[in-house]
Structure 1
Amino acid sequence: MAILNVVTEPADILLAEAKPVTKFDAKLHKLLDDMYETMVESEGVGIAAPQVNQSLQAVIVLMNIDSEEEEEILELINPEIVQYSTDTNVDLEGCLSIPEQFGDVERANGVRVEFEDRFGKTYKLEAIGYDARVIQHEIDHLHGVLFTTKASKMYTPEEMADMFGEEE
């Protein structure tokens, strides 16, 4: 596995529609493995292929990070959100491709997603809470949408330090 370069704003690929994955082969598997390694190295909870300069509909998310359940890595290929819950919440988001910027974003509290795995098998998933937020954020990347366009308020690094305290 390899650590890939994370593309940062204002790269055009971050604002473009990603192409569907059509080949579920060793090249895709290597990309997914490298994306996972890059996400972990970057201390992220999700990553989309456009963030590593690949115009493909592929994302990786770390599930269950806010629960008592064991964390799980989820690969979503050609994902589509087929249903959003009517209830929403606003929470702080950041992005590996937009370093040191954070903002309040309103998102559906729950989603139903259809996707394929690395072998092309189709699945359906329901996610709620933080898991749903991360999935929505990463799928937005596949459609050229950045969280900054959805944020109701953005915070400077100084404001973030004030809110969460500076580490000494």
Structure 2
Amino acid sequence: MSELTGNRIRTTAAKLGLPHLAEAVNEYTRRADEAKMGYLDFLDLVLSEELAVRDDRRFRSGLRTSKLPHHKTLDEYDFSFQPELDPRKIKDLATLSFVEAKANVALLGPPGVGKTHIAVALAVAACRAGYSIYFTSLDDMVRSLKTAEAAGRLTSKLGSYLRPSVLVVDEVGYQPLERA
């Protein structure tokens, strides 16, 4: 590839918002040459790589804004720690069909059994799948809603909890709630 063509591709990629392509064009052409790729295969490679970079950027950004306390996955969960927990039920939840159905999932049990780990792992999986997520404790959510109500912004604040595809409300039942 000539230097002029490479510079033109980098400039065009940058204008199109494809910074990874602008950086990796030489690597892509080297890989295409080595594999003796056809034009469509080369185009498929470039587009697939760009999509992967964009998805990873979206995933990292989603995790940053989610306020998750940690980013554990289901692979890290020790099901032998809770032998009465059916791993198949958790793996069914990991398909995220509950998100598509806009259904609620309640993880119930005493403290220290892994409810937060499972909830966070499902949220991380949802984020990886492109869903928006948000994590809060019930105590923080109630406090925030009370503050918003006092400031006359309750509807707006409720929207911030209803907007994400997955809302994880942790520590439910730890503190008594007032009826209001």
With structure 1 as the length reference, what TM-score do the two structures score?
0.23
Which structure is higher in strand share? Answer: 1
Structure number with higher relative contact order (C-alpha < 8 Å, ≥ 6 residues apart):
1
With structure 2 as the length reference, what TM-score do the two structures score?
0.22
